[in-house]
Amino acid sequence: MAAKEVISKSALVDKVAEKAAVSKKEAKAVVEAMLETVVESVKSDAEVRLIGFGTFKKAHRNARTGRNPQTGETIQIAASDSLAFKSSVKY
């Protein structure tokens, strides 16, 4: 089985610059602005829907009891929020 290709942020910037026929500096500014806007919007409880691509939203996990796998000791895991993405791309 072949290893999956992993595209870093800088490689993404390179691809965007090539496809949009803009400089890498301009593409980097656009990519960073988009990511920052998505994170800020989700933090303020908004959903970001990109039709034909997917939806970014906040996912909440309630506090729960867990176990330390090394000691077996019961621990309390705090509630937390994280960014979730649901793809709408079919391939």
Residue 30 in any domain: the answer is yes
Residue 68 in any domain: the answer is yes
Residue 62 structure tokens: 């309630």
**Using one digit for the tens of pLDDT, what is the confidence trace for 24-68?**
999 999 999 999 999 999 999 999 999 999 999 999 999 999 999
Residue 2 in any domain: the answer is no
- Alpha carbons within 13 angstroms on the beta-carbon side of residue 16 total 17
Residue 45 in any domain: the answer is yes
Residue 1 in any domain: the answer is no
Residue 3 in any domain: the answer is no
Residue 4 in any domain: the answer is no
pTM (whole model) above 0.85: no
Cα separations (Å) of 4 from 1, 23, 58? Answer: 9, 28, 27
Rounded distance between C-alpha atoms, residue 36 and residue 29, angstroms: 10
Residue 36 in any domain: the answer is yes
Range of the domain at 38: 9-87
- The count of structural domains within the chain is 1
Rounded distance between C-alpha atoms, residue 13 and residue 83, angstroms: 22
**Using one digit for the tens of pLDDT, what is the confidence trace for 65-80?**
999 999 999 999 999 9
